[in-house]
Amino acid sequence: MNSPITQILAALLLLLSAVKMAMLATRPRAWFGFARWIYRHPEITSRVALMSAALVLWLLVRSGLDIVEILAVCLFMSLLMIAGLAPYAPRLLDWIESQDLRQLTREQGGYVLAWLALLLWGAFILLA
């Protein structure tokens, strides 16, 4: 299904990805400087990303996709991200284990609740 909304979202991803790849190929330090700027205030970055994700989800549903299709794409993207993060997993896991896990869980509350809501929505549709 190619709706105008999904085409616009895909074009946005292509444009942003092309800029990132061009910057990484030609000026990697500038790209990492930009990334540091984006993550300078992680709580703001997180909120903006969650609001943007909610907007994209709304647009995808309005375009005719259902939550089951969206979750299937999430599985695909999760697997790609696992492949990309796998080389860094030992260091990341060591860092996580050195933290207060209860505090980390509280800090991730909004993210976890968003996933839980999506998963419950998907389960409801699949089981209905």
Question: Which of 64, 88, 108 represents a domain boundary (last residue)?
Answer: 64
Q: Are residues 3 and 57 in the same domain?
A: yes
Question: Which of 48, 64, 80 represents a domain boundary (last residue)?
Answer: 64
Give, to the nearest 10 degrees, the angle between helix 42-62 and helix 67-85: 140
Number of domains in the chain: 2
Would you write out the chain's pLDDT as a tens digit for each of its 128 residues?
A: 679 999 999 999 999 999 999 999 999 999 999 999 999 999 899 999 999 999 999 999 999 999 999 999 999 999 999 999 999 999 999 999 999 988 988 888 888 999 999 999 999 999 98
Q: What is the DSSP string of 3-15?
A: -HHHHHHHHHHHH
Query: What is the residue range of 27's domain?
Result: 1-64
What does pTM read for this prediction? 0.85
